[in-house]
Amino acid sequence: MVDAATPRRRVRADAAATQALLLRTAEKLFAERGVHAVSNRQIAEAAGQGSNSAVGYHIGTKADLVAAIIRTHAVPMDLYRARMLDGVPGAPRARIACVVLPLTRHLAELGTPSWYARCSAQILIDPVLRTVAVRSATSTPAMSRAMEVLLEVVPPAAVPRIEMIGHLIVHTCADHERDLAAGHAAPGSWPRTGRLLIDAIADLLTV
């Protein structure tokens, strides 16, 4: 006897697989060409979808697409970040590490080539989509907690510099991701990049 729910489950699985494919394709194209240089039609074509409206059907607007890319990567990063936050780190550098290392570890796990850091850098220079991306990246419980923990040790005079941290992290990671893809950086060097970022942020925030 065939379970009546089986066809529905298959349809949902196919839709989820198509959505994931579109997200991966958009991420790569955004990283290579920039966000506004890439249309939903080009994403659908590159993903091998017969319908030019596949992105709109499966995901939505370009803002929805950006938010979905960010959320997809936030899931594994926040699992690691939540473990780091257990017990609330005391030293300032340990608190900075809760912001930085989940990203560099995730990028290392993606392998080479990866596209997420370069895609994020392209999004950050867009005045509208930047707001969407920052909101999606910083509003998760783990990331919100990491920023709260960090702010507890930042001197008042350095608080205005907090916004600089995101740019420093994203663009440094984008440059390193690009170097890895081009063979200009040593494989396995993401941990070093993470340590350099922690040092730079500690100096920036004078902690």
Is residue 129 within 8 Å of 36, Cβ to Cβ? no
47 token code pair: 């993903």
Contact yes or no for 80/105 (Cβ under 8 A): yes
- CA 107, 111, 117, 119 dihedral sign is negative
Q: Which 3 state secondary structure label does DSSP give 116?
A: helix
Q: Which CATH architecture has domain 1-60?
A: Orthogonal Bundle (1.10)
Give the start-to-end residue ranges of the domains of the chain. 1-60, 61-205
Written as tens digits, the pLDDT of the chain (207 aa) is 456 566 666 556 677 888 999 999 999 999 999 999 999 999 999 999 877 788 888 899 999 999 999 999 999 999 999 999 997 668 999 999 999 999 999 999 999 999 999 999 999 999 889 999 999 999 999 999 999 999 999 999 999 999 999 999 999 999 999 999 999 999 999 999 999 999 999 999 998
Helices 6-33, 116-124: crossing angle, 10 deg rounding: 70
Q: ∠ CA(196), CA(76), CA(122), 5° rounding?
A: 60
Q: What is the pTM of this model?
A: 0.90
